Copies of this chain bind each other. A is one copy, B any other.
Amino acid sequence: MPIIKYQDIKLSEVKMNDAESVSKAVVIAAAEGWQGHALRVFKLGPGGFTPRHRHGWEHVNYIIAGRGRLMIENEVYDLKEKDFAFVPPEREHRFENTGDDDFEFICIVPDRGEH
């Protein structure tokens, strides 16, 4: 099925150290025919955040809904619906929900970043 409706996306809780209220779904990846990359949707509930971490691949992000903050090394950027972000490889980063609603975003990584 080449179309994935937003309401059909099934998010699962992500258990990670130093993370709070994070859930994720893989929406378009090898199973859908996209070789080499994976498009995931993340949802951070109010007060939620991802761990401060770094890895050898980039993130390509688009904000679906809500308000949040992206830390890259020592810089902090405010993000809201319809903004885009690019996190280069090997930069320490962290996403945080700063609003009262869910903060939802697309995060595209090369295959080795999705596990």
Which A residues are within 8 Å of any B CB, using their own CB? 2-6, 27-28, 32-34, 37, 39, 58, 60, 62, 64, 70, 72, 77, 79, 81-88, 106, 108
Taking a contact as CB atoms under 8 Å apart, the answer to whether B60 and A6 are in contact is: no
Determine chain A's interface SS by DSSP, over half rule: strand
Q: Which of B33, B79, B87 makes the CB contact (< 8 A) with A88?
A: B33
Shortest distance in angstroms between A83's beta carbon and chain B's nearest beta carbon? 6
Given contacts A64-B82, A82-B64, contact A88 B58 (CB under 8 A): no
**CA gap between A106 and B84 in the complex, in Å:** 11
Q: Which residues of chain B are within 8 angstroms of A60 by Cβ–Cβ distance? A: 28, 34, 37, 39
Given contacts A3-B77, A62-B106, A72-B2, contact A28 B84 (CB under 8 A): yes
Q: A58-B33, A58-B34, A108-B108 are in contact. Are A4 and B64 (CB under 8 A)?
A: no
